[in-house]
Structure 1
């Protein structure tokens, strides 16, 4: 609640990027990750949806995988992959994705609130 109050206090012309560790939405229904998201994601998403169009994007980690979704209010949600192992997103148990390379997400933010993003993969020797 305090963070949302701080966001609401910002001038209305300031574009906002929200960064979290845990995902606010699961990457797949009925997967291991469905139970490893925020405890009450609807409260956060409802609050953030009320701040649209000021919120330009939400980024998070924790999944160890590249993932994209849309939040209430239409803002995009991006997950940054892990710089170590990656996980499968649609399995019942935590399962390492043996075919996925480590990576990271690059964001290019512009003062007008527009942005570009891309996932960069890191080649691992011997993998």
Structure 2
């Protein structure tokens, strides 16, 4: 199965994960996307999280780290994440340059492990759904085989799976053109493995929660702009602030999670935009 990261949890009764996604950073401080300075909103999110003074066992970052493809922007992300002094694992989104990610994150000790053994009871698996040059996602046969093998080898552990693209329709017609195209294949693997208890993703810049094949499935808000829910065409939300998700993995196989958002939000998008 290749290398994996093995971590002990701070509390014997549960593990805590911080889920961050879709930061869309720039090399320059002045970089702006859809009316929001995404570097500034990311820093505000990091500051809010640190003010909460919570302790995490693992940070999972699920793609679209940068908007301009620059190594400097990836370094911005890594510098802030390293302030938590907590292991961070990551995967690529449709906007990411994978080679730049690997090079920069390695310099900051952000590990490239796609399997994490967390405490005595849990397993986190990260999947690569990136299709270079496309906004939609796809899990190649090698990724599906990797998932099946990991779940089989660690069948005594409860499993939480992460990817970038959404495998469940979001309710936004325009966004669902950019779904995980072969989500049925992912479903088949999950249905074969009852130890799968959770599935998380980013990409859709929205908070959504489901029960999918008896496991908890959820999307996490972006740290910058949010897409307006239940829209046929592209629309931005002026109501939903940048956010993050905290996940608790209980020893009995259940998952608790909660989304947090910036308070007194000053990061308002330009809602006149019709795409990016």
Equivalent residue of 2:148, what SS? helix
Mapped partners of 1:24, 1:65: distance in 2 = 14
The CA RMSD measured in Å over matched residues stands at: 1.7
Question: Retained in 2: the 8 A contact 1:33–1:89?
Answer: no
Correspondent of 2:185 among 43, 48, 52: 43
Alignment partner of 1:98 is 2:205 = no
Aligned partner of 1:69 among 183, 205, 210 = 210
The answer to whether residue 240 in structure 2 is matched with residue 116 in structure 1 is no
Query: TM-score, normalising length from structure 1?
Result: 0.87
TM-superposed CA distance for 1:113, in Å, is 2.4
**Which structure features the higher share of helix residues?**
2
Equivalent residue number for residue 127 of structure 2: none
Partner SS, residue 161 of structure 2: strand
Name 1:60's counterpart in structure 2.
201
TM-score, with structure 2 as normaliser? 0.42
Q: 1:11 corresponds to which residue? A: 154
Residue equivalent to 1:34: 176
Q: 1:31 to 1:4 in 2, by over 3 A?
A: same
Query: In 2 relative to 1, CA 24–18 (structure 1 residues): closer, same or farther, beyond 3 Å?
Result: same
Give unpaired runs (5+ residues) of structure 1.
Answer: none
CA–CA distance in structure 2, aligned partners of residues 10 and 32 of structure 1: 38
Which SS does the other structure have where 1:4 is aligned?
A: helix
Bigger Cα Rg: 2
Contact 1:60 1:78 in 2 (8 A): yes
Unaligned 5+ residue runs, structure 2? 1-143, 269-276
SS, match of residue 203 in structure 2 = coil
Q: CA deviation at 1:4?
A: 2.4
Q: What is the CA distance between 1:126 and its match in structure 2?
A: 7.0
Q: Is the 8 A contact 1:31 1:89 kept in 2?
A: no
CA shift for structure 1 position 68: 1.1
Q: Aligned equivalents of 1:125 and 1:34: distance in 2?
A: 29
TM-superposed CA distance for 1:115, in Å, is: 2.3
